[in-house]
Amino acid sequence: MMACETLATRTSSAGANEPQFVTIALGTGGGLTEDNLSSYLLAPVGSTAFVSLDAGTLLTGLQHAHRKGNLSDVVGPTASPLSVEGQVLQQHIKAYLISHAHLDHLAGLVLNSQDDTNKDILALAPTIEHLRDHIFNWKIWPNFGDEGPGVPLKKYHFVRLTPGEEHAINGTRLTVQPYALSHAGVTSTAFLLQAQDAYALYIGDTGADEAEHCDNLYRLWQAIAPLVRQAKFRGMFVEISYPDPRATTHLYGHLTPQWLMQELRRLAALVDAQQPTAALRGVTVIVSHIKPSLQHAQPMSEQIREQVEGLNTLGLQFLFPEQGDRIAF
């Protein structure tokens, strides 16, 4: 059974392959804490052109990463009047991939928009429409988009992605394929990112198929399974919002350790029906969106980590990053 880890700067070493991606955790939580909400930077190894996978927290996360020394090879010596965090925000984050328009996934993007630079926002059409009509509408926030109410300021270009179709991300070496997910009636998104024939998967908020009465995750697993078999798949980001036990009626479109492991066993069976317990051995799983609670003496993250470790019969490598941490995988 693979161990679960918390880390500051870490290199994942599943198998003999060298890491292909670098991620910096700008926000790992799923609520309550206003300054630590879902947001991860991702770039191919050797590149400093990042995409932001959701954007619940930006500047505060960059400050944590800078204090931990995890931006030192992103921003080298420079005469720029901008802070290190400002340089990363304005010059090194090239685009935003937004899984859905809940506030804990886009608050940082909205609050930093005035000081940001021109970029693409990539998402499925329903998410773009929610951003356009309900956030950048001159009522909740000025319209920094390039369409919608009033006079668009055109800082952000809305890019509507088509499920299953590959799309190049401007300013980076990455491509992305989106897959629709079900999040308690809201369309959420999984983003399959590729660089030099290596793949990473970011899964936005989602419930298990059984709880959501759909087959969205199964379809995603069907797309991922060949990549795992071919040793092209490097790892995934996936939410575990609550510890077990939790009633299905109170999941609100989220996962617990038991629900996630049930889904990952389905993926394992698709990868290798003859030996499913070995099919995902060593695959990196970065746990995201843990919801803090005001009621528990033991932190939610500790409860979830203990439960995951007890359920992990697939040999998966679970990582529990803290804000500002950097992972190569």
**Contact of 242 with 254, CB cutoff 8 Å:** yes
* Domain 9-328 coded CATH 1.20.1740.10: no
Q: In degrees rounded to 5, what are phi and psi of residue 228? A: -65, -45
Domain ranges in the chain are 9-328
pLDDT string in tens for the chain (329-residue length)? 444 454 555 554 444 479 999 999 999 999 889 999 999 999 999 999 999 999 999 999 999 999 999 999 999 777 789 999 999 999 999 999 999 999 999 999 999 999 999 999 999 999 999 999 999 999 999 999 999 999 999 999 999 999 999 999 999 999 999 999 999 999 999 999 999 999 999 999 999 999 999 999 999 999 999 999 999 999 999 999 999 999 999 999 999 999 999 999 999 999 999 999 999 999 999 999 999 888 776 788 899 999 999 999 999 999 999 999 999 99
What is d(CA 278, CA 302) in angstroms, rounded to the nearest whole number? 26
**165-201 burial: b if 16+ Cβ within 10 Å, else e:** eebebeebebebbbbbbbbeebbbbbbbbbbeebbbb
- Three-class secondary structure of residue 29 per DSSP: strand
Count CB-CB contacts under 10 A for residue 117.
11
Give the model's pLDDT for residue 8: 55
Residues in the chain: 329
- According to DSSP, the β-strands at 119-124 and 93-97 are parallel
